[in-house]
């Protein structure tokens, strides 16, 4: 039986694949910001990608992880390999049929979708967004089929390839950005949209050989009678509904941002790319690695099942706290450094970096709640319960819409800040509601399993280590003369009185500031005897020997 050590190795493979794709994504975003900045074209692209992404979010990785993997892994755990293979083929056929229908509707309804998602866009911004949606939509459909590959590969504990596959998607866009960098912005953004379609096809194609090696020949015809299909569909509908509710939240965030300025939409998109790094690297990696083993554990007798899930949750929460808590603190204290080194340059200025910092502050509030909530949801999915996460997602999103409206339309004026800073409050309100959802998931899971591990002690330790490290990082920043910067704008730029200096030379300052933060955090965590810090230190020393 695989235990926490095996899960940690699997999570490392997921994280390594995600890291490769996210690093390539950051390079892509850096070039995108350099050539397109926060202009109309960037804003249109940000809104346009939100709309087709509903297809990927509703039918892609999260939903297949919730419904397909537990059933598929359960069949394999019982030795029913032939039935598992038949299930995989039937689900592919059903998914391809559904994706085709949704893509057709999306192409026809693009103007209506833009009106719903970007109500503040008029004239050229609206026309460009509609045109981009119609280009991008089919490519997003291919990404859903790519998620089917991920489901099969994860169930066989082949974790790296499926999470590294987006490297080729980002690579296609990078090639176009570099090759056509001298053309006008509108032509460039159309070319980038077509590159996303090519990248989607490549991302699907690179996974197929590995899938076929595991499954051999499959029957891809849609079938409702194949073994396990009815069970997958019972979990699929609530999982789609839950993802749909979450997608509504993302769309509402975009709609609120369009009511501020076009620049706010693209700034939100840039900052969320950064904010998703720890969510993907740690939350997604740990949850994805644990789900197949949790699904196998769920087939055991109740007492043995509950103990096995307790052990996996305890190890997963410890790893999440060790990596995610310092990420949240860094977003709040050093977000200007992070945004500047990753995005600043060309048409993306120091003013844009500061706005991204505000958004990252709000995102930091949500990080631990989002990632631990993913792990609790994975436990429910392993138990073949997709309805409980749905109920709490509905509550979170409903509350978030109300808070988001207040944060965007009312709060900035009450605080004496510029209206554009309302975009930062969007991520802050998301954080508040994420904590509520996480608490509800934890309570419901405790009732189901009898007891859950308490992450409080380790969160407190790593929190202390992260705050000390942030203080050192700020001291280094001040000592390097980067506190006020060389191109600081006058206070009050955003309609308030906060002194918000940009970073003068981020490529020089960031390695020292963020490096000191990381080193001090690791040392203090070791002094506080955080188990995960000791495990990381041992792995590093072992590799040097």
Query: Consecutive 10-residue runs of the chain (545 residues): their mean pLDDT?
Result: 56 72 80 79 82 65 70 82 89 87 87 81 86 88 84 81 85 91 87 92 92 86 84 75 65 74 75 81 75 80 88 90 94 89 76 84 89 89 85 86 78 69 79 90 92 92 96 88 50 39 67 92 93 79 60
DSSP character at residue 220? -
Q: What is the pLDDT of residue 500?
A: 42
Half-sphere exposure of 252 (CA within 13 A, CB side): 22
Candidates 247, 248, 253, 234; CA nearest to 407 is 253
Cα(261)–Cα(269) distance, rounded to whole angstroms? 13
Q: Are 51 and 138 in contact (CB under 8 A)?
A: no
Helix, strand, coil content of the chain in percent (nearest 5): 80, 0, 20
Work out the number of other CB atoms within 10 angstroms of the CB of residue 449.
17
3-state secondary structure 247-306: HHHHHHHHHHHHCCCHHHHHHHHHHHHHHHHHHHHHHHHHHHHHHHHHHHHCCCCHHHHH
Chain-centroid distance of CA 329 in Å reads 18
Burial 121-153 (b: 16+ CB within 10 A, else e): beeebbebbbbbbbbbbbbbbbbbbbbbbbbbb
Work out the number of other CB atoms within 10 angstroms of the CB of residue 262.
22
Give me Rg for the CA atoms of the chain: 23
Q: Are 146 and 127 in contact (CB under 8 A)?
A: no
DSSP character at residue 420? G
pTM for the full model?
0.69
C-alpha distances (whole Å) from 97 to each of 59, 155, 489 are 12, 23, 54
Cα dihedral value 142, 147, 153, 159, nearest 10: 110
Cα(507)–Cα(529) distance, rounded to whole angstroms? 33
Q: What is the pLDDT of residue 49?
A: 82
Candidates 30, 57, 32; CA nearest to 43 is 32
Q: Are 287 and 375 in contact (CB under 8 A)?
A: yes
Candidates 274, 166, 240; CA nearest to 393 is 240
Q: What is the pLDDT of residue 10?
A: 63
Chain-centroid distance of CA 155 in Å reads 21
Torsion region of 499: left, alpha or beta (phi above 0 gives left; psi -120 to 50 gives alpha): beta
Q: Find the distance separating the first CA and the last CA of the chain, reported in whole Å.
A: 30
Six-digit token string for 334? 């050093």
Cα(486)–Cα(317) distance, rounded to whole angstroms? 42
Surface-to-core class of residue 205, CB atoms within 10 Å of its CB (0-12 exposed, 13-18 middle, 19+ buried)? middle
- Residues found in the chain: 545
Q: Which residues pair with 348 in a beta bridge?
A: 345
Sign, CA torsion 194/195/196/197? positive
3-state secondary structure 475-509: HHHHHCCCCCCCCCCCCCCCCCCCCCCCCCCHHHH
Q: Which residues pair with 345 in a beta bridge?
A: 348
Candidates 363, 373, 345, 139; CA nearest to 269 is 363
Which residues are within 8 A (CB) of 360 and not within 5 positions of it... i.e. 6 or more apart? 271, 274, 275, 331, 332, 335, 338, 339, 427
């Amino acid at each position: 039986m695989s235990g926490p050590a095996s899960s940690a190795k699997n999570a490392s493979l997921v994280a390594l694949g995600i890291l490769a794709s996210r690093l390539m994504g950051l390079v892509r975003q850096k070039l995108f910001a350099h050539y397109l900045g926060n202009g109309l074209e960037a804003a249109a692209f940000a809104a346009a990608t939100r709309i087709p992404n509903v297809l990927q979010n509703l039918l892609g990785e999260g939903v297949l992880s919730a419904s397909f993997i537990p059933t598929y892994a359960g069949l394999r755990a019982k030795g029913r390999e032939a039935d598992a293979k038949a299930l995989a083929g039937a689900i592919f056929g059903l998914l391809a049929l559904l994706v085709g229908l949704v893509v057709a509707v999306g192409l026809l309804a693009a103007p209506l979708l833009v009106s719903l998602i970007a109500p503040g866009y008029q004239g050229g911004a609206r026309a460009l967004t509609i045109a981009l949606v119609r280009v991008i939509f089919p490519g997003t459909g291919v990404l859903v089929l790519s998620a089917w590959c991920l489901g099969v590969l994860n169930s066989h504990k082949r974790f790296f390839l499926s999470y590294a596959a987006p490297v080729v998607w980002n690579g296609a866009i990078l090639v176009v950005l570099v090759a056509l960098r001298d053309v006008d912005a509108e032509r460039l953004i159309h070319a980038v949209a077509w590159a996303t379609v090519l990248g989607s096809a490549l991302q699907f194609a690179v996974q197929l050989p590995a899938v076929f090696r595991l499954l051999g020949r499959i029957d891809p015809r849609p079938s409702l009678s194949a073994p396990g299909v009815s069970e997958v569909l019972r979990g699929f509908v609530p999982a789609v509904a839950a993802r749909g509710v979450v997608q509504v939240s993302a769309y509402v965030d975009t709609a609120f941002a369009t009511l501020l300025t076009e620049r706010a939409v693209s700034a939100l998109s840039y900052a969320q790319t950064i904010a998703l790094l720890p969510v993907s690297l740690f939350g997604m990696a740990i949850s994805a690695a644990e789900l197949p083993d949790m699904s196998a554990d769920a087939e055991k007798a109740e007492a043995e099942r509950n103990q096995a899930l307790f052990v996996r949750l305890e190890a997963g929460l410890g790893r999440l706290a060790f990596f995610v808590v310092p990420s949240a603190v860094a977003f709040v204290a050093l977000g200007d450094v992070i945004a500047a080194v990753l995005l600043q340059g060309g048409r993306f200025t120091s003013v844009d970096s500061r706005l991204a910092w505000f958004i990252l502050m709000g995102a930091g509030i949500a990080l631990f709640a989002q990632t631990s909530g993913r792990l609790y949801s994975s436990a429910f999915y392993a138990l073949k319960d997709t309805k409980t996460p749905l109920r709490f997602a509905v509550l979170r999103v409903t509350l978030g819409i109300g808070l988001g409206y207040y944060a965007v339309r009312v709060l900035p004026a009450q605080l004496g800040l510029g209206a554009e800073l309302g975009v930062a409050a969007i991520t802050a309100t998301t954080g508040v509601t994420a904590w509520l959802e996480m608490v509800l998931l934890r309570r419901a899971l405790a009732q189901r399993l009898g007891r859950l591990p308490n992450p409080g002690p380790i969160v407190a330790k790593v929190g202390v280590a992260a705050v000390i490290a942030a203080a050192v990082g700020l001291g280094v920043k001040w000592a390097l003369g980067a506190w006020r910067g060389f191109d600081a704008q006058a206070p009050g730029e955003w309609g308030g009185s906060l002194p918000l200096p940009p970073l003068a030379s981020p490529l020089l300052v960031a390695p020292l500031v963020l490096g000191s933060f990381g080193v001090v955090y690791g040392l203090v965590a070791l002094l506080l005897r955080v188990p995960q810090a000791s495990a990381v230190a041992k792995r590093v020393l072992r590799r040097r020997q």
